[in-house]
Structure 1
Amino acid sequence: MTTIEQLYTTLDQRRRPEDVAEMIVDLLKDGLTKSEHSVLEKAAQGSLKRSVYGYTSMLETFGTAVGAEKQITKAIEIFKIRENEKSDYNNADNIELFLNQISPLIRKSVGQNDFKSDRLNKTERKEAGLDISKRNYNKKWRLLKRIEKRLHQYIQESKKIKFQKIAKHGLSHTISPQDFNADLNTACFIAYFNARSGLRSTFTNQSQERPFDEICEMLFNRCKETLDRTQWQAVSHIYITEEVLKHLTDEQKGNLLGKWTYILQEIAEFLGKLWAENDIKRKTMAVQRGNDSTTWNNTAGAWNKARDSWMNIIYALGMEYILEDLSFGKVMRLMAADVIAWHLSTGGKLDPNTEVWNTVPLPWEVFQGKEFCNKKMIVEACRKVGLDPEKSGWIAPRTHQVSQFTPTPELVHGVTVSNPFLASVLRKNKYFSGKI
C-alpha cells in the first residue's frame, strides 16, 4: 500500500495526528518550504514511528457493527440451502434479502415474531404442505427470529457508529478515493484535520482543545495557494467555512445542504428515541444511573456538527432568513457529576448554554414540526444568560480560531497517563470506570 493509500484509510480511523503528519512529511518532502516543514515537524516528531515505545494503548479505529454472518451460516446448514455465490452478511440489505427469501420456506412472515400467536400449529403446517416435525419447525422458526433480531441490532449499532463519525469529522469518511487522490495538498489537509477532529475528549473542567491547529492552517494555506487544483467539494465534507463554500457552485452548495438536512432528520429521529428511553435530568444534564451517556453524547455531537454545517451553508446561500421562521438549537451533552462538582468548586457556574437549552423547545421536536421555535426566541434566551447569540453559535456560524499544536496525550477514559504500556495495564485491570 502506497503512502497516499495509507493516508486515505485514516479517514475512517482514529489515527493520532502525529502519525498522519509523519505520512504527510513523506508525501510533501520535496515541496515543503523550510518554515512549512518546521511547522509540520511539531507533530511528526511525536509519531509512533519515531517513538521509543512505538505503541499506543488507544484504539485507532472506530467500532464496527456485527452483522448476522454467524446466524445465517447456521440457517444455511439447517435449511440445507445451496448459495450460488457468497454474500456479505455484515450488510443490512443482504440480511433482509436472506430473510425475505428463506422465511417463506416455513411460511413465516417477516416481522411476525410472537412465539404463541405467529407460529403454525400442526393442522396449519399440514395445510401449508410442511412435512416436518414440530421440533424441526420450531428450531427453524426461532433461528429466523434471531436473525431478524440481529438485523435490527445491526441497524441500530450502525447508526450509532455513523453518528459518532459525523460528530468527530463530519462526512470525511464518505469522500471517494478519486476525489481524495485528485490533489495532494487537498488530501494532506483533509487527512490531518480529520485526525485532529478525531481526538478524544480529556477529563477537564475547561473547554476542549479546538481541532484546527497551526498545522491545519499551514496545510489549508497550501490549498488556497493552488486554488484551481484544490478539491473544494471534498474539503467541504469535513471543513465548512465561508472560505471553502465560496469556491463551490450554488448547485454544489444546494446538494450539500440537502445532504446535511437529511442527516439532521435521521439524527432527530434517533435523539427522540434516546430521550424517551433515558431519564435525563434536563436542568443540569448530569449523568444519572441508567443513562446511556456514550450513545447520547455521540448523537448530540453529531446533531451539533450537522447543525453547524447546515447553518454555514444557509448563510453561504444567503438563506439565513429561514431562521426567522424556523430555528432549532444545540443539543447538550451529558456531563459526569464529578466534573460538574469540580467546575463549581473552582468558581464556575452552570454552563449558560445549558440554561439556553432549558429555555428553548427540544431541537429535534422543532425540526420534526412538533414544537415551534425561531431566531427571536433563541436570541432572547441567549441574552437572558449573557451569551452572544451569534458568537456562541446559536443562530450563526461559529467564529473560527486557530489553536497551537499540542501532543496527543495517552488517555484512559479521558485521564492522561504518561506511559502507553501503563495505560494498557490500568485499562485491563479496570482502574478507571466506564466501558473498556
Structure 2
Amino acid sequence: MSNSELTLRINKMTTIELLYQTLNERRRPEDIAEMVFELTKDSLTNNEKLLLEKASKGSLSKNIYGYTSMLQTFAEAKGATKQIEKALEIFQLNPNTKFDYNNQKDIEEFIALVSPIINKSIGKNDFKADRLNKSQRIENGIDLSKRNYNKKWRLLKRIENKLLKFITESKKVEFQKIAKHGLIHTLNFTNFSSDINTACFIAYYNARCNLRSVFTNESQIRSFDEISEMLLSKCNRKDTQLPNPTNWWAIAHIYTSQEVLSHLTDHQKGLLLGKWTTILQEIAAFLDQIWNQNDINRETMVVKRGNDSTTWNNTAGAWNKARDNWMNLIYSLGLDYILEEICFGKTLRLMAADVVAWHFSTNGKLDPNTEVWNKLPLPWEIFQNKVNCNKDLVIKYCEQAGLDPEKSGWIAPRTHGVAEFTPTPELVHGVAISNPFLATALKRHRFFSGKK
C-alpha cells in the first residue's frame, strides 16, 4: 500500500469516527452532508454530487457567520458529582477514580458504601423518624456529635434525592433521543463503521431526524428527504465496489421501513421487537407518572398553565416512535394478527393555545386524531391490564372520527413520501430567524418563550 493510499484510508477512518460522534448530537444536516461528500466524493455520480453540494454549501464552515445559535448537543442529566465530592470531604474518604458519578449504578454503589458508616438505612429519609438518637448511636458504635451526625445524615439524604432526580432526568433525555431518532444512539461503532454507505445514510438521516420543530399551523417537514433517499439507494446497489456489504441491522436502529426490514433475519427482527416492546412499557409507565402530575385537558390537548408540556411532548413523541417501530416489525414478521388482541394507540402531544388559535383562524379544526385519542384506553392502562385495546376498537373510533385507520397509521405502518431538502433555519422557540446573531440576542431576552 502506497503512502497516499494509507493517508486516504486514515482520513476516511477519522471522518467515520467523527460521523459516529454525531449520533449523540444535534448537528445540522448541512454539516453532515459536507462530511459525507468528502468521504464518498470519489464514488458519487454527477447527480449525487449535485444533491450533496446542495446541502453542504450551507455548512457552518462555508457560512459567512460560521456559527449557529442552536445547541448542537442533547441535554444531559447531571449526576451527583458535586454532592459526592462534598461527602468524600466530610466523611474523610479517599476518592475512587473508578467511579463515575454521572452513572446511576456508581451513585447507588457509593450510597451503599457510605450509608453503613453512620448506620443509615437507604430509602429511610424521614428526619424525625429515621435518624438515630444518642443512645442508638452509642449502641451502634457511632462516636459522633449530634451536629456532626445530622450533617452527614442530611448529606446522604441529599445524595439519595439527587439519585432519584438523576434517574428521572436520564429517562427524559433517553426518551427525547428515542422520539427523534429511535435507537441509533445505542448502536456500537463496529456496526456503524462496517460499511461506508451504511454510515453515511445513518449519519445524515439522523441529523434530519434530530431537527427541531418549527412554529407553524401546518405539518412539520419530513425527515426523509431527497438526500436520505439517495444515500439509502446507494446501500441498495448490487454493483458496489466496496468490500463490505450494507449493514441493514445498523440501519434498522433508525429506519425500519419494510424495505430495510426485509434484509434482516427473523431472529434480528425478533430482537428489535423485544427491545421496542420493553421500551413501550417503560415509556407508558413514565407517561402515567407525568399524566398524574399534570392537569392535562385530554379532550382538546391544548396546554394549560402549569402543564409540563416539554416533558409530556418529548415522552409522547418517544411513545409514537416506539409504536411505529413496533408496528413495522409486527407486519414484517407476519405477526399482525396480534393486533386482533392488542393494538396500542397513538399518544397526542400538547398543543400551544396560540398555535390552535392560529389553526382555527385559517379555517382549520381540531385534529380528528384527538377524537380517537379521547376514546381509546390510555397506554399505561393497557400495560397495567386495566383495559383491553384491539384493532376492532381502533377501527371503530377512527371511522367515527372520519379517519382511514390504515393510512393514518393507527393500525398499520405509516408510509411517507420524499421531502425536498430545505436549509436548516435558525430557531428561537420554534420561530425561524434569518440571522444567528439576532437569534442569540432574541433568546437571551426570552423572545417567543412565553415568559416575561
TM range (shorter): over 0.9
* Alpha-carbon distance between aligned partners in 2 of 1:110 and 1:142, rounded to the nearest angstrom: 12
The CA deviation at 1:432 is 2.0
* 1:206-250 deviation digits (Å, cap 9, x = unpaired): 010100000000000000015871000000000001101111111
Contact 1:413 1:434 in 2 (8 A): no
* 1:202 aligned onto 2:206: no
Tell me which amino acid in the other structure corresponds to 1:420. Answer: P
Distance 1:435 1:375, change over 3 A: farther
The residue aligned with 1:48 is 60
The CA deviation at 1:157 is 0.3
The 5 Å alignment of 1:1-150 reads 2-150=14-162
Contact 2:428 2:447 in 1 (8 A): no
* Alpha-carbon distance between aligned partners in 1 of 2:450 and 2:382, rounded to the nearest angstrom: 33
* 1:154-191 deviation digits (Å, cap 9, x = unpaired): 00000000000000000110111111110000000000
User: Matched residues, percent identical?
Assistant: 66
* Alpha-carbon distance between aligned partners in 2 of 1:191 and 1:23, rounded to the nearest angstrom: 10
* 1:168 aligned onto 2:184: no
- Give the SS at the match of 1:416: strand
- Give the SS at the match of 1:157: helix
The CA deviation at 1:131 is 0.9
The CA deviation at 1:85 is 3.5
* 1:274-327 deviation digits (Å, cap 9, x = unpaired): 111100000110000000000000000000000000000010010000100111
Stretches of structure 1 that go unaligned for 5 or more consecutive residues are none
Question: Runs (4+) of structure 1 moved beyond 3 Å?
Answer: 83-86
* 1:320 aligned onto 2:336: yes
The residue aligned with 1:289 is 305
* Alpha-carbon distance between aligned partners in 2 of 1:88 and 1:159, rounded to the nearest angstrom: 18
Stretches of structure 2 that go unaligned for 5 or more consecutive residues are 1-12
Contact 1:268 1:368 in 2 (8 A): no
- The alignment's TM-score, normalised by the length of structure 1, stands at 0.98
The residue aligned with 1:349 is 365
The residue aligned with 1:338 is 354
The residue aligned with 1:159 is 171
* 1:422 aligned onto 2:438: yes
The residue aligned with 1:398 is 414
Picking from 227, 240, 244, the partner of 2:256 is 240
The CA deviation at 1:368 is 3.0
Distance 1:233 1:435, change over 3 A: farther
- Give the SS at the match of 2:315: helix
Q: How many residues align?
A: 436
Contact 1:328 1:367 in 2 (8 A): no
Greater shift after overlay, 37-46 or 230-239?
37-46
Contact 2:382 2:389 in 1 (8 A): yes
- Give the SS at the match of 1:49: helix
- Give the SS at the match of 1:29: helix
* 1:188 aligned onto 2:200: yes
* Alpha-carbon distance between aligned partners in 2 of 1:358 and 1:302, rounded to the nearest angstrom: 19
* 1:367 aligned onto 2:379: no
Contact 2:376 2:394 in 1 (8 A): yes
The residue aligned with 2:7 is none
The CA deviation at 1:84 is 4.9
- Give the SS at the match of 1:129: coil
The CA deviation at 1:435 is 8.2
Distance 1:435 1:305, change over 3 A: farther
Picking from 284, 291, 304, the partner of 2:320 is 304
